[in-house]
Chains A and B, each alone.
Chain A
Amino acid sequence: MSPHHIIDARGLEPPEPFEKAMEAVADLLPGESVTLVLDRMPHPLFRVLERDGYRYSPLIRDDGSVEILIECP
């Protein structure tokens, strides 16, 4: 996984964006990160990331979509 890999999961019906996010996160090695682009703030995903010890920082774009940088500690 590249440290700057970007996954665009906009326009997909739930739970597909969640599944894509989990697949991407599962491939991360310590120190690597992935950026997710989603249609909305994924509160349920945040809870799983917190539970599994990942760092994340969400950013709301001007068009209303959400960009989340997830890092594997």
Chain B
Amino acid sequence: MSGLGAGLGYDATPPFSAPLRFFLSAPLFSAAAGGLLLADPGLLDSRWTPGALATIHLLALGFLLQVMLGALLQILPVVAGASFRAPLRVAGLTHGGLCAGSLALTLGFLTGAPALLQLGGGLLGLTLAGFLIAAADAIRHAPRAGAPGHTPRDLHLALGGLLIAGGLGLALTLTLARGWRLPIDFVLQVNLHAGWALLGWAGLLLAATSWVVVPMFHITPAYPQRLARWWAPLVLTVLTTWSVGAVSEASALVLVAGMLLLTLAAVFPLATLRQQARTRRSQPDAAFGAFRLAMIALLAGLTALIPATLTDQRHWPVLAGILLLHGGFGGATRAMLYKIVPFLAWLHLTQAGIKAPNVRKLMPEAQARAQLRLHALTLLSLIVAVFIPLAGHLAGALLFVESLWLWWNLASVARIWHKQQAARSAPAAV
């Protein structure tokens, strides 16, 4: 057998249930965010309202981080040949800790109860630490020859970004719950946490995944080698420079590094739009369109960050947050889920020697298209709600329905997968 096979010392692909639990829980947190907004549209008034902080973390931790960690359990073995030693145990502990921690932190923001904030921060800190250790172990044991391209390296860099974002987040919860302060300004600490979470972690992970997933599922040429080689290291270098400048109060450095960072960040969605324009698909599918919209939302969100940084008007940071979190990362995540979940169901059935239905039957295009259209409408209504508070009720209701619809669609794939497996293991009828 080949050296590659010999390089994997333990069983490689995790069972489908390992990532699936993350994918099925995530939309419920997004629906909860919709419920909060439906109940209190005033939370969009500023990024500092307790409701806004709760909603942001329901979307960022409950939805995005949940999907991203679940996807990594699958992506690391498939793309980088890096398999977790005990994938089900890692999945169970990470999923449990993430769900409980996200809920506790959200309730902590809403009630202001220090115990809940501390519980949420502590659970999330422990969960992330455990996941990062397991992921580092998997990467260390990956066969080097089996991972062409820059995705494995960028996944590694993104995990480093997650470590910093998580550490800053944990410090913030301790500041809120116990009054312990890092020797830096509180607002700056929040901005550093958001910067590292959005760009150092989520941005790097989205790009690392896109280097593989966009050409693979959207049938485009490969991203330019130079971009894939330099984008992530450059972003991390400038993000670090911006952070050091901000902590040392070097305002000129912060301004230059900040503008450079926004420009660099914009290169990824621009390059992706260019790749998509060169697709060999004759008819772009729903996920293709949703990914394109997500890239446009990222660009709009990055643009909104300029007035958000330079002026005191409260609506700019909220608008940037909606565009980046829900429109950009949320949209790209949804588009990827519609490709990855049916594919994984198909793959796991096939690897188990079970005749799998066609992926188009696992996730009918019309079903995905209708839900993704509602996602686009939700994004539009959220943008309107930033300027017309009364529209927040509608935006909240749409986010609630759209998220539950996503859950239903993903659960449908899981049901077929489960049924096929059960049919195989059931004793033959006499």
**Interface residues, chain A, with chain B CB atoms under 8 Å away:** 11-15, 18, 22, 39-41, 43-44, 46-48, 50-51, 55-58, 60, 64, 66
Contacts and interface: CB of A to CB of B under 8 A. Distances in A.
A15 B349 CA distance: 12
Contacts of A44: 13, 78, 347, 351
A51 to B, nearest CB: 8
A41 B2 contact: no
A48 B350 contact: yes
The 5 A-B pairs with the shortest beta carbon distances in the complex, nearest first, are: A60-B148, A50-B5, A57-B2, A56-B2, A43-B78
A47 B351 contact: yes
A41 B146 contact: yes
A53 to B, nearest CB: 9
B2 A55 contact: yes
B340 to A, nearest CB: 10
B1, B2, B212, B219 pick with most chain A CB within 10 angstroms? B2
A57 to B, nearest CB: 5
A55 B81 CA distance: 18
A11 B219 contact: yes
A64 B351 contact: no
A13 B216 contact: yes
A17 to B, nearest CB: 9
B300 to A, nearest CB: 29
A58 B219 contact: no
A15 B347 CA distance: 8
The interface centre, meaning the residue of B4, B217, B225, B280 with most chain A CB atoms within 10 A of its CB, is B4
B1 A47 contact: no
A13 to B, nearest CB: 6
A15 B346 contact: yes
Interface string B347-382: 100110000000100000000000000000000000
B10 to A, nearest CB: 12
Given A44-B347, A55-B1, A64 B217 contact: no
B148 A43 contact: no
Interface string B215-231: 11101001001000000
B201 to A, nearest CB: 24
Contact of B359 (A15, A22, A41): A15
Mostly, the B contact residues are helix
A15 B343 contact: yes
Contacts of A22: 350
Given A14-B343, A46-B2, A40 B212 contact: yes
Contact of A41 (B13, B148, B219): B148
Given A55-B1, A55-B2, A56-B2, A47 B280 contact: no
B270 interface: no
Contact of A46 (B5, B147, B359): B5
B12 interface: yes
A51 B225 CA distance: 34
A14 B13 CA distance: 17
A48 B1 CA distance: 12
Contacts of A51: 351
Contacts of B146: 41, 43, 58
A47 B12 contact: yes
B280 to A, nearest CB: 6
22 contacts: A13-B217, A13-B219, A14-B216, A15-B346, A22-B350, A41-B81, A43-B13, A43-B77, A43-B78, A43-B81, A44-B13, A44-B78, A44-B347, A46-B2, A47-B13, A47-B351, A50-B1, A50-B5, A55-B2, A56-B5, A58-B2, A58-B4
Nearest to A69: B2
B149 interface: yes
A15 to B, nearest CB: 5
B254 to A, nearest CB: 38
Given A15-B346, A47-B13, A39 B148 contact: no
Given A15-B347, A47-B13, A50-B1, 17 more contacts: A14-B216, A14-B343, A15-B359, A18-B350, A40-B216, A41-B81, A41-B146, A41-B147, A43-B78, A44-B13, A46-B2, A47-B351, A50-B5, A55-B1, A56-B5, A58-B146, A64-B148
A17 B359 CA distance: 13
Which of A11, A15, A48, A57 gathers most chain B CB within 10 Å? A15
Contacts of A39: 215-216, 222
Contacts of A50: 1, 5
Nearest to A15: B346
Nearest to B347: A44
